[in-house]
Amino acid sequence: MSSATIVNLPDPSTARIPKMNFLTRENGLLSWLLTGDHKRIATLYLISITFFFFIGGALAGLIRLELLTPQSDLMAADTYNKVFTMHGLIMIFLFLVPSVPATIGNFVIPMMVGAKDLALPKINLLSWYLYILAGGVMIYTMMVGGVDTGWTFTAPLSTHYLNTNVISAGLAVFIAGFSSIFTGLNFIVTIHKMRCPGMTWFRLPLFVWANYAASILMVLGTPVLAITLVLVILERTIHIGVFDPAYGGDPLLFQHLFWFYSHPAVYIMILPGMGVISEVISTFSRKRVFGYTAVAFSSVAIAVFGFFVWAHHMFIMGISNYAALVFSLLTMLVAVPSAIKIFNWAFTLYKGSITFETPMLYAIGFMGLFTIGGMTGIFLGATGTDIHLTETYFVVAHFHFVMVGGMLMAFLAGIHFWWPKWTGRMYPEKISQFAAVVTYIGFNLTFFPQFILGMLGMPRRYAAYPPQFQVLNVFSTAGATVLGVGYLLPVLYLTWSLRYGAIAGSNPWQATGLEWQTQSPPLTENFTEIPIMDHEAYDYEWLERQQAKEVASV
């Protein structure tokens, strides 16, 4: 196996974790809670989003258990409604939106652009506190009885017809939104103003481009959601407002405002994931990303087009047929950049020198699942088939293929990829590869049957369903069990590796990014001196020359 791997570890007998690094620089709880260091904030984020991921995951488990049988026997319908609502809210606003940007992005973007920190470290810390506050309010919401609006807060259901904790849930999302705005803002400023000498826009790693595009969406889209939630909360408290038709409002206005954020939000979630895939695929095929410019601009194209497709969530809601026509056309256009990315990644492998470490396995899994997720998006973007498929399990499956099959795979790829940099240690390779395969199998078993259920017409958000849908639901629940194991394993072995993992050295994957040219874990200032970028991104020949020089000098 040794020849089939690029892992290049220092000699275990002499290797030591550098004494001075961002983890050991200061000690004590306060040094963490008041830190301005982007790497420490990223670590705080990693711990907190993992926590919320497992809460959301447990809720997902409850949903699947309930759907094992056609009757609503495990939970009553109102409990079920609360469970899927909390699952959606937690997974979207407390896991998916901050997952890659706030953890991996926070950790590597300053290093990738050759800066000592993000431009606004205090704002970065504020963003984490807002996130924790949002999480706290969300947990409070759950404690006092939950909320059952669905994550979409659909008015007038949310404004007048439910007596659950809509206000505190709305508040949690509002606060989480500002956390996300501040992260996005920080990234944009950092990428614009903090690049090191020689780091031109087209020398930036594609991960930076992807996060830049996602940040634009965060900064411009999230405030619209914030104001929408303010209006919902006001309408709920004083019983007059702009959404409920009984009070002279327009429920479609709510849909427009909500989806104006929430459609771009799915690009906020997936774009950083795509950035991870670009890094991973390039590194493990030892080759620059095929069509760098095309991949970079396709991210920006997704961000731009992403703002003009929101009404495709409303095709059957009585918007004018011609509006549907326009939004359908724009939806087809936004699908193209994703296709471009997929093919560019595939061709990055061409004439490479490929190895299959864990991050690469996740990345390859991403490509397959994201292709399915993306293509089924066309089914929903084409107005005709959307009529039949929307609001059914087809949408649920499509969304999970993109978000779980796509984003979560990318997140895990990223975590496994940058883990040695983050902690200075390797995780056990065989178990992690096994976990990647388990995740892949479990995922397909869980969500593929849901496409068929959707085609059969099974509506989403049903606590009870006609018995003819049971077989496929049983498959789905069985798959979810496998998937759960797949997600638990990394937590176990990654925690194990913190103490017992092999010392990784500064560049175990032989990757080219600037973050790999410094020690692992990095210093608080990232670099001993500010680097000067004198080569293109993904220049493996430069890396070889560099290493040859080091060997010669030793």
In three-state secondary structure terms, 523 is strand
Of the candidate residues 321, 499, 552, 554, the single one contacting other proteins (CB under 8 A): 321
Q: Is the Cβ of residue 244 or residue 279 nearer to other proteins in the bound state?
A: 244
Based on CB atoms, which residue is closest to other proteins, 55 or 181? 181
Does 200 engage in binding with other proteins (CB under 8 A)? no
Which parts of 220-239 interact with other proteins (CB under 8 A)?
Answer: 220-224, 226-228, 230-231, 234, 237-239
Three-state helix/strand/coil letters over 170-219: HHHHHHHHHHHHHHHHHHHHHHHHCCCCCCCHHHCCHHHHHHHHHHHHHH
Angle between helix 358-381 and helix 393-400 axes, rounded to 10 deg: 150
| Site stretch for other proteins (CB under 8 A), options 98-106, 416-424, 496-504, 524-532 | 524-532
- C-alpha 513/C-alpha 114 separation (Å) is 10
CA 285 to CA 6: how far, in whole Å?
10
- Dump strand ranges (E) for 47-160: none
244 binds other proteins (CB under 8 A): yes
Specify the residue, 391 or 429, whose C-beta has the smaller distance to other proteins: 391
Is residue 247 close enough to count as binding other proteins by CB under 8 A? yes
Return the residues of window 324-363 that contact other proteins according to CB under 8 A: 324-325, 328-329, 332-333, 335-336, 339-340, 342-344, 346-347, 349-356
SS3 115: coil
Could you identify the residue written with the tokens 């010669």?
A: 552
Q: Which residues contact 380 (CB under 8 A, 6 or more apart)?
A: 312, 386, 389, 390, 394, 395, 398
Q: What is the DSSP letter of 509?
A: T
Cβ contact 458:392 at 8 Å: yes
Q: Which is nearer to other proteins, 136 or 459 (CB)?
A: 459
Applying CB under 8 A, does 441 fall inside the site for other proteins? no
Helix (H) or strand (E) holding 332: helix 321-348
192 forms part of the interface with other proteins (CB under 8 A):
yes
Interface with other proteins, residue 391, by CB under 8 A? yes
Nearer to other proteins, 286 or 425 (CB): 286
Please tell me whether residue 108 binds other proteins under the rule CB under 8 A: no
Q: Which residues in the 396-435 window bind other proteins by CB under 8 A?
A: none
CB 262 within 8 A of CB 228: no
Angstrom distance (rounded) from CA 252 to CA 257: 9
Among residues 287, 313, 400, 421, the one that binds other proteins under rule CB under 8 A: 287
From 249, 264, 306, 359, residue interacting with other proteins (rule: CB under 8 A): 249
The minimum distance between CB 499 and other proteins, in angstroms, equals: 31
Which residue number, 17 or 367, has a Cβ lying nearer to other proteins?
367
Binding positions for other proteins, 12-71, rule CB under 8 A: none
- The answer to whether residue 154 forms part of the interface with other proteins (CB under 8 A) is yes
Q: Is 205 exposed, middle or buried (0-12, 13-18, 19+ CB in 10 A)?
A: buried
Nearer Cβ to other proteins (47/471): 471
Q: Which is nearer to other proteins, 96 or 117 (CB)?
A: 117
Q: Is 498 one of the binding residues for other proteins (CB under 8 A)?
A: no
Q: How far is the CB of 492 from other proteins (least distance, A)?
A: 28
